[in-house]
Structure 1
Amino acid sequence: MADTQEIKQTLWEKMDDSPYVMVGLTGDGQHSEPLTAQLDRDQVDTLYFFVGKDNRLAGGGAAMAQFVSKGHDFFACLSGTITQDNDRAMIDKLWNKQVEAWFPEGKEDPNLALVRLDIDSAELWETDISLSGRLKMLVGGTITASESSSHAKVDTTAA
């Protein structure tokens, strides 16, 4: 079972490997949508997203993001606030070919908006079933918490 620091570090490693999340504003009755998180190693507790100015997230507000790792062995629910952050230096820093595919006029596209999710809290789960837990699964035994996974509720995702 991983400690809190390890599970927070694992979050960023898993997101670096597969930065796809479902993001939605809370309390507005709309569904979440899939987006690619742009990670900036210099910013703790922050995810960036390139969206259209007409996107439901562009107006900002309280939000939640859900993440499932590529191997389905790590899960996260991130709560925070979305705001528009059209800082030119940050757009230049985060811009890449994948983003360019969505904005035909590039960084000068009039519909381009950079939004940021400032994470206030998170709940993290890592399914790291131990060898003894796997054996118990094969024979129908009961798996204890220490054999099954790691879980943490945190106010910061900083490792």
Structure 2
Amino acid sequence: MSDDLTREQSIKHIASIIKDVKFAMLTTVTDSGHMHARPMTTQQTEYDGDLWFIGGKDTEGVHDMGQRPQVNVSYSNPDDSNYVSLTGTAELVEDRAKLDELWSDFYKTYFEGGKEDPNVQLIKISTHGAELWEGPGKVKALYELAKGAVTGKRGDMGNNETVNL
């Protein structure tokens, strides 16, 4: 991505990369100061600079975000050789309309009381930076790896960019 992209253009580009990734890894800092990553289901809303997740109020991750809101969310799409790491600030939100928007029956597996379960917690991540790795795709990557092995020269393995949001 070019340095002269606007914030909106950067967000749209990131959105195009993460839109079909089903799970993200959300990293928090624990009470003991260690980083801990856990899988979270990606919501079916378009990324607009904020990410939304649903978690349990009684979980360590939600506790961590309540104490130390600086987080990282990473997305991996190895089939397309695309990876995104987003930094941001977590906020624990109570918003019935947003919960209605994001809820799917999938969550009944985690919350016996459905949307009414008192343990349901909305998590909003306001992102402020990203690092992206965009690969050439499987076929070209294999070609570039083979070419590099034969010639001893570095192949074209895609782009790596850092973006302030």
Q: How does 1:6-155 map to 2 (within 5 A)?
A: 9=12, 11-26=14-29, 28-41=33-46, 44-59=48-63, 60=65, 61-69=69-77, 71=79, 73-128=81-136, 135-139=143-147, 140=149, 141=151, 142-144=153-155, 147-155=156-164
Higher relative contact order (CA 8 A, sep 6+): 1
In structure 2, the gaps of 5 or more residues are none
Question: Which residue identity is paired with 2:16?
Answer: E
Decide whether the 8 Å contact of 1:24 with 1:65 is kept in 2: yes
Question: Which residue identity is paired with 1:36?
Answer: T
Task: Give the TM-score of the pair, scaled to structure 1.
Answer: 0.79
Identical pairs, percent: 22
Task: Give the TM-score of the pair, scaled to structure 2.
Answer: 0.77
Question: Which residue identity is paired with 1:19?
Answer: K
Question: CA separation in 2, counterparts of 1:148 and 1:78?
Answer: 21
Decide whether the 8 Å contact of 2:135 with 2:141 is kept in 1: no
**C-alpha distance 115-130 of structure 1, shift in aligned 2 (>3 A):** closer
Residue 54 of structure 1, CA deviation: 1.0
Residue 16 of structure 1, CA deviation: 2.2
Question: CA separation in 2, counterparts of 1:7 and 1:130?
Answer: 24
**C-alpha distance 131-95 of structure 1, shift in aligned 2 (>3 A):** closer
Residue 13 of structure 1, CA deviation: 3.1
In structure 1, the gaps of 5 or more residues are none
2:53 aligns to what SS in structure 1?
strand
